[in-house]
Amino acid sequence: MLTALSIRDVVLIEALDLDFGQGLGVLTGETGAGKSILLDALGLALGGRGDSGLVRHGAAQAVVTASFDPPSADLATLLDDNGVEVEPGEPLLVRRVVKADGGSRAFVNNQPASATLLREIAPRLVEIHGQHDDRGLLNARGHRALLDSFGGLDTGAVARAWSAHRTAEAALAAARAEIETAVRDREWLEHAVAELDKLAAEPGEEEALADKRRTMQRAEKIADDLAAIEEHLEGSDGGLARLRQAARVLERVAADHPALAEALAAIDRAVLEGTAAEDRLREARTELAYDPRALEDDEARLFELRAMARKHRVQPDDLPALAADLAGRLQRLEAGEGGIAALEAQLATARRTYDDAAAALTAARTEAAARLDAAVAGELAPLKLDAARFRTVVVPVGEEGWSGAGKDRVEFEISTNPGAPFAPLTKIASGGELSRFILALKVALAEQGGAATMVFDEIDRGVGGAVASAIGERLARLARATQLLVVTHSPQVAARGAAHLLIAKASDGTVTRTGVRRLAEAERREEIARMLSGATVTDEARAQADRLLETA
């Protein structure tokens, strides 16, 4: 719901701050007072064209800020998807700035936004029905959803069937494309699978071979050093043999002096450490044994793995997975027609399910259309449209137009005169007729939701008396469930308002300004009396105004 509207430097409006409430709000004023400026300002905030001509003369820029109730979950998600943060429970602020030298900027919750985003969220916030409006109920793209909502129709079964149909269709197309490609590449595929099977690469094999190769290459380089070390340690003349001989001699004399005993203990430790070193060297020599034939075999295997990986443009470790993938493709190719036949059967089943669900939805829409036509027909005569006829057209679309919403196109059409052909609303109805048709539709669709705020611009143009009263009664009825703002010249409509705003133009001789103020009850009586009698307000007009207010 629109809660507030702040306007700065728009045409004749210098500064204006308005608060709005639930129910029916009426805006009145003399012709030329600037009622259209107010709607232009609201339209600007909702993504309308940022024309520099809207900037008040002498001002640098025009600014319009509209405040709405906290957004719904769907709207909050849309804003979040477009990078606009929304705090739960906080009002939604939409601001538009237009510079006098051209260019405009838009903000949502004080965060920069595009005018395109404003136009996308606008229908969820406000419906503006004017003389030349082509959105809302006049947009045929929304008629199907409105009919479904009016009829209480559940389109979920159709949507699920359509999704299953598309999935089966995509699976069959993918299988056919794969087989077609595989057939073309059969010879290559068979050769590649045989080649990879013969290679029989294993995960991690390339790294293991590379490590082993490095180890053997290093062993080749240190073989002479290991032999020299062995010569110094082992044999009858090696270091360990001499240490053992020294230890045997010391054993005979170690008791003669403490230092000799200590020397013997040190030699024993040296023999132990030397023996351990000898064991480790022997272990290393075994593991680093250099076998030229083994090195040659490992290098050949490593070359084969890397060459095969380059050929297929993969890493060596990916060769086993590639072999499995190509083998699977070859197997599917050989399975061929059997797999395709199964997918074709699945698609046929999904198609029948969708056809049945769509046919049931079409039948339900046709029945709901008849009920909607009757509901609208009941509203036409009181609105001075008794010669007009309304119908809801439900027609099939070609297969290219099928979707999760079914196989139908839905459009509202009218015929304004007996014998005249039916056509879309915008093609036939005049401005006043069009607004009244929209009102009749809105009353018939009253329980189907829509934007939280509706604006009707001069819906009562060209009518009076009983028709104006009928319009006022229906507007008041709609306003029970939503916020409704009406620009009106009709006292019968104005009397129905829960809030009455007067738009007036004033001049100090050099500058002309448009202002808006909320009328108190006594002021409402005087304004309605003016609307009844013209420039000179008579006592009779005041009495008639009282009667209108009492019966509203």
- 46-59 residue pLDDT tens: 888 888 888 988 89
- The answer on 418 and 294 residing in a single domain is no
Based on the domain organization, do 381 and 315 belong to the same domain?
no
Domain interval for residue 285: 187-335
Question: Would you state the pLDDT for residue 507?
Answer: 79
pLDDT of residue 132: 46
State which amino acid sits at residue 80: D
* 25 pLDDT tier (thresholds 50, 70, 90): very high
End position of a domain, from candidates 335, 369, 400: 335
For the residues 266-292, what does the mean pLDDT come to?
77
CA atoms within a 13 Å half-sphere pointing along the CA-CB vector of 291: 9
| 293 and 380 co-located in one domain | no
How many structural domains is the chain composed of?
2
Percentage above 70 pLDDT, the chain:
91
Calculate mean pLDDT across residues 341-352. 93
- Identify whether residues 331 and 359 lie together within a single domain: no
pLDDT digit string (tens) for 132-160? 454 556 778 888 988 998 888 989 999 99
305 has pLDDT over 50: yes
| pLDDT of amino acid 432 | 64
Q: Which residues contact 123 (CB under 8 A, 6 or more apart)?
A: 135, 136, 451
Instruction: Answer whether residue 169 is part of any domain.
Output: no
Read off the pTM.
0.61
CA angle 394, 395, 398 (to 5 degrees): 145
Measuring CA to CA, which residue among 394, 398, 425 is closest to residue 410?
394
Q: How far is it, in rounded angstroms, from Cα 326 to Cα 425?
A: 61
- The more confident residue out of 406 and 381 is 406
Query: 41 in a domain, yes or no?
Result: no
Residue that is last in its domain, among 300, 335, 370: 335
Is 63 among the domain residues?
A: no
Same domain? 216 vs 143? no
Q: In the prediction, which pLDDT does 353 show? A: 96
Are 249 and 147 within one domain?
Answer: no
- Give the end of a domain, one of 335, 369, 384: 335
Rounded distance between C-alpha atoms, residue 492 and residue 487, angstroms: 13
Supply the pLDDT for residue 130: 62
Cβ pair 511, 50 in contact under 8 A = no
Residue 266 pLDDT exceeds 80: yes
Q: What is the pLDDT confidence band of residue 337, given thresholds at 50, 70 and 90?
A: low
Give residue-wise pLDDT tens across range 451-493. Answer: 778 888 877 777 777 888 888 888 888 888 888 998 888 899 9
Least confident range from 433-437, 501-505, 547-551: namely 433-437
* Together in a domain, 321 and 416: no
Per-residue confidence (pLDDT) for residue 134, from 0 to 100: 46
Find the length of the chain. Answer: 552
Helix (H, G, I), strand (E, B) or coil at 153: coil
Q: Is residue 260 part of a domain?
A: yes
For the four alpha carbons of 179, 184, 188 and 194, in that order, the dihedral sign comes to: positive
Average pLDDT, the chain: 84
Digit-coded pLDDT (tens) for 184-204: 777 788 888 899 989 888 888
Q: What was the pLDDT predicted at 367?
A: 96
Q: Is residue 494 part of a domain?
A: yes
Same-domain check for residues 259 and 213: yes
DSSP three-state, residue 488: coil
More confident residue, 281 or 182: 281
Cα–Cα distance measured from residue 141 to residue 339, given in angstroms and rounded to the nearest whole number: 41
Whether residues 355 and 503 fall in one domain: yes
Instruction: Determine what percent of the chain is predicted with pLDDT higher than 90.
Output: 25
| Higher-confidence position of 455 and 236 | 455
pLDDT tens digits, residue range 398-442? 999 999 999 999 999 988 888 888 888 767 656 667 777 888 888
Residue 59 domain flag:
no
73 contacts: CB under 8 Å, gap ≥ 6: none
Do 384 and 520 sit in the same domain of this protein? yes
Is the pLDDT confidence value at 361 over 60?
yes
Highest mean pLDDT among 20-34, 79-93, 360-374, 378-392: 360-374
Q: CATH number of the domain that 360 lies in?
A: 3.40.50.300
Mean predicted confidence (pLDDT) in 334-361 = 88
Average pLDDT over residues 100-120: 89
Please choose, from the candidates 108, 107, 113, 77, the residue with its C-alpha nearest in 3D space to the C-alpha of residue 91.
Answer: 108
pLDDT at residue 426 in the model: 65
Are 300 and 201 part of one and the same domain? yes
Measured CA to CA in angstroms, residue 293 lies from 222, 296, 298, 412, 530 at distances of 18, 5, 9, 89, 115
Does residue 201 share a domain with residue 311?
yes
Answer yes or no: is 236 within a domain: yes
Residue 380 inside a domain? The answer is yes
Res. 385: pLDDT tops 90: no
